[in-house]
Amino acid sequence: MQARAYAERVPAIPEPVTPETVDPAISDVLRGVYDPCCQDKGISVVDMGLLHRASISGGVAQVDLVLTTGWCPFASRVLTDVESAVAGLPSVERAEVRVVWDEAWSPERLSADARSKLRFLPPPAEVADRASFVAAQRTGSLSPNSLNTGDRHDR
């Protein structure tokens, strides 16, 4: 089995990723691959929205990823981990992992689960008293009573 990960200019697809553009076997195996920045939160490269396009044809898997930033210090590791996982699929003889440079990653690519795990603050509608909430954050005395799902919205 031959596998290699590399970066080249891969044209972006104007439409969003759909089940038709991502082979389900690749998506499933990549749910167990993590960007080191999000591994402690249990957010896979799929949930991070890094998977742009993936297919298997004639024993060759092609996987295109969108990085969160071109300066990602873990890009090499992510590419290698993705390549290893995909190369391990029974129908894959060779895996090619490429970086899509013509499309920017954005938070909209996050899955709902990833978005909730990365949320540092509650939604504004859940904060009944904004001033008290901010004060509690500053002093570290935030309690469950600081949140309320009442009707008041301070925006």
Task: Identify residue 18 by its one-letter amino acid code.
Answer: T
Q: Residue 70: name the closest of 123, 9, 117 by CA.
A: 9
Give pLDDT, residue 137: 75
Q: Is the dihedral of CA 99, 23, 2, 36 positive or negative?
A: positive
What is the CB neighbour count within 10 angstroms for residue 119? 9
Mean pLDDT calculated for residue range 133-144: 69
Mean pLDDT of 106-120: 89
* Residue 144 reports pLDDT greater than 60: no
The one-letter amino acid at 105 = W
Q: Is the predicted pLDDT of residue 142 greater than 70, yes or no? A: no
pLDDT at 104 over 60: yes
CATH 3.40.50.300 is held by the domain 2-110? no
Listing from the earlier edge strand, what are the strands of the sheet with 2-5? 2-5, 94-99, 60-65, 51-57
Question: Tell me, what's the pLDDT at 66?
Answer: 93
Domain with CATH 3.30.300.130 in the chain: 2-110
The predicted structure's pLDDT at residue 88: 97
Q: What is the pLDDT of residue 69?
A: 87
Give residue 140's pLDDT. Answer: 65
User: What confidence score (pLDDT) does residue 3 get?
Assistant: 46
Give Cα separations from 74 to 59, 81, 138, 150 (angstroms).
Answer: 28, 11, 32, 42
Mean pLDDT of the region 49-73? 93
Residue type, 12: A
| Helix (H/G/I), strand (E/B), else coil: 60 | strand
Lowest-pLDDT choice from 21-35, 81-95, 121-135 = 121-135
